[in-house]
Amino acid sequence: MTDKPVLLIPRKLAPAVLARAQATYDVILNEDDHVMTRDELVAACQNVDAVLPCHSEHFNAEVVAALPARLKIIANHSVGVDHVDLGAAKARGIVVTNTPDVLSDATAEIAMLCMLGAARRGSEGDRMVREGRWNFWSPAFMVGRQVTGRRFGVLGMGRVGQITADRARGFGMEIHYHNRSRLSPDKEKGAIFHDTVESLLAVSDVLSLHCPSTPETTGLINARTLDLLPERAILVNTARGALVDEDALVTALKSGRLFAAGLDVFRDEPGGNPALADLDNVFMLPHIGSATFETRDAMGFRALDNLDAFFAGDAPVDRLV
């Protein structure tokens, strides 16, 4: 017998994170790291005090209702919590935490990679060389868009948005942003605030999405809003796939209304969107914004910090409900 709290870890975490967890908790693992079905997840939670899930585990209202009374905390290994019904968790008295701050730099790096890959036709060029089709050169060959000096629009100026803006400043870009509230001057750093999404889009040569996925933001980027962007703009999404109407995006990319898109997230994950994959002017990655060794350790440790605080009788620093 053990008096350690029982912790379910449903996905494979970094070795250092797992070692720390096992030193403090009676850990139950998902040994083959598969994505649990709803029934598997509910069954695995029945005899645990806590769960440390990723965004691949969906705690909707139905799942939350099926959780046992002994499960008191969901300590997410993610910043976004759109996979958890916060209202249902609050009604059940279940604490929910996330892992802000620690993945901002890594995600900002991926946003820059997506921007540059889209602007300079990275996917198209990579395929050409790998497939042995690079047999020609001229001054008109593989011409892309230069981002230096362009207007960089940030939709959602939270932690990740602010650091991404800092990286874009390194390319001499003019920063514009829309946020629920205007930042203080020390955080704004000269960026130009727009009080409406429409105003931001009108000046965004590159639009980078950094807002959470909520009922209000689902499909925010659609045929109407895409048409507000400057001609031949570039869309970057490292936030959540649900923000974008992908059918409308495909249409805008095919027509040339948008020059390109750089995407790390999709509405359907894993897998992505075959219609987007067919387009040369899309640079895409498999949702790896936070996938560095350093960040994976930091995310796991942050989740464990929240668990440790909770079981010590303290308030977790990242408590959402």
Q: Which residues are catalytic?
A: 240, 269, 287
In terms of residues, how long is the chain?
A: 321
Task: Tell me which DSSP letter residue 317 carries.
Answer: T
Of 290, 197, 193, residue with least CA distance to 238: 290
The rounded distance, in Å, linking the Cα atoms of 119 and 256 is 13
Contact 86, 320 (CB under 8 A): yes
The rounded distance, in Å, linking the Cα atoms of 12 and 22 is 13
Please give the full DSSP string across 122-166, using - where no structure is assigned.
Answer: HHHHHHHHHTT------TTTT-----TT-EEEEES-SHHHHHHHH
Residue the block writes with tokens 């230096």: 148
| Residue 205 neighbours by CB distance under 10 Å | 22
The rounded distance, in Å, linking the Cα atoms of 192 and 200 is 9
Burial class (CB in 10 A: 0-12, 13-18, 19+), 15: exposed
Q: Are strands 6-9 and 26-29 parallel, antiparallel or unpaired?
A: parallel
Considering Cα of 228, then 232, then 237, then 241, what sign does the dihedral take?
A: positive
- Residue 111 to residues 13, 116, 150: CA-CA distances in angstroms? 24, 9, 16
